[in-house]
Amino acid sequence: MKWFALVALTASLSACVTAHQADSRAHVISQTLTSTVQLLDMRKDGTRRAGSGVVLGPARNPELTLILTTKHLLSPMTEQTVMVMDPLWRKQVVATIVAVSAEHDLALLEVGGDLTLTPVALKTRARLGDPIWVVAFPWGRRRTIVSGVVSQIAWDEEQHTEVPIEGPVKLVDAPVSYGTSGGGVYDATTGGLLGLVRGYRSAELAVPGSESAVLKIPVAGETTVVSTEDIRRFLRTQDLEHLFDQSAER
């Protein structure tokens, strides 16, 4: 009887842990979804580009919100209109380009309107193999969330004698495609932002029976990331580092 009671207790505790993990995971996913927005860049010549961005926090004007994305989405800097889509209610509002950085491939947008947005909490360090979520809007369509792991840490050969296993994130192995640039790379356990999707490396495969058609296949482990260290440097140039410091790092 004691053995049976012990087994029952162990099973009950295991079920509680599993339920807690499920609740925690659901909470993290829910928060990352409302921290990532869809962007549409419309140019005077009629061309359109799709991208993603993350909600950084309140602007100096409390009625406005700052959105962070990649600069290459807006390049070249010609006459253009950037629309931000509320991920919950599908509202569209026009954003103002506040600042850009070619060095860090970052752009800062300012947006008003009654939007349902959740500012991110920034996380500066991760370890190789840490699980991550990438939230974005590939091909300018519906929001997606894909999983992966940290596959490379950023490092400087002059500062490191060995390849580090912990630090700012440089590469993840989550598969991405066009439209995910600027999307959030989140720590899967805490929901802290580890960086933005910069791009991805692809291999070109010739289509049988066609001399010109090729397929571009993303290379596993080669999704490049703008790390939170670069984000912090960029914010410092805009006198906005307080957004980073006041963020409760997860």
Instruction: Report the alpha-carbon distance of residue 55 to residue 39 in Å, rounded.
Output: 12
CATH assignment of the domain containing 215: 2.40.10.10
* 222 part of a folded domain: yes
Within this chain, do residues 46 and 22 fall inside the same structural domain, yes or no?
no
Task: Report yes or no: 100 and 80 within 8 Å, Cβ to Cβ.
Answer: no
Task: Report yes or no: 234 and 101 within 8 Å, Cβ to Cβ.
Answer: yes
Instruction: Report the alpha-carbon distance of residue 83 to residue 69 in Å, rounded.
Output: 12
Within this chain, do residues 83 and 28 fall inside the same structural domain, yes or no?
no
pLDDT in tens, the chain (250 residues): 555 454 444 444 444 444 445 557 888 888 888 899 999 999 888 889 999 999 998 877 888 899 999 999 999 888 899 999 876 667 889 999 999 999 999 999 999 877 778 899 899 999 999 999 999 998 878 888 999 999 999 877 666 667 788 999 999 999 888 889 999 999 999 999 999 999 876 556 566 666 666 556 655 557 999 999 999 999 999 888 777 665 545 5
Within this chain, do residues 57 and 83 fall inside the same structural domain, yes or no?
yes
Q: Which two tokens stand for residue 135?
A: 């939230």
* 119 part of a folded domain: no
Q: Environment class of residue 87 by beta-carbon count within 10 Å: exposed (0-12), middle (13-18) or buried (19+)?
A: buried
Domain range holding 53?
36-111
Within this chain, do residues 205 and 130 fall inside the same structural domain, yes or no?
yes
Within this chain, do residues 130 and 235 fall inside the same structural domain, yes or no?
yes
Q: Which two tokens stand for residue 35?
A: 């921290």
**C-alpha distances out from residue 197 to 44, 53, 153, Å:** 26, 9, 14
* 120 part of a folded domain: no
Within this chain, do residues 151 and 213 fall inside the same structural domain, yes or no?
yes
Number of folded domains that form the chain: 3
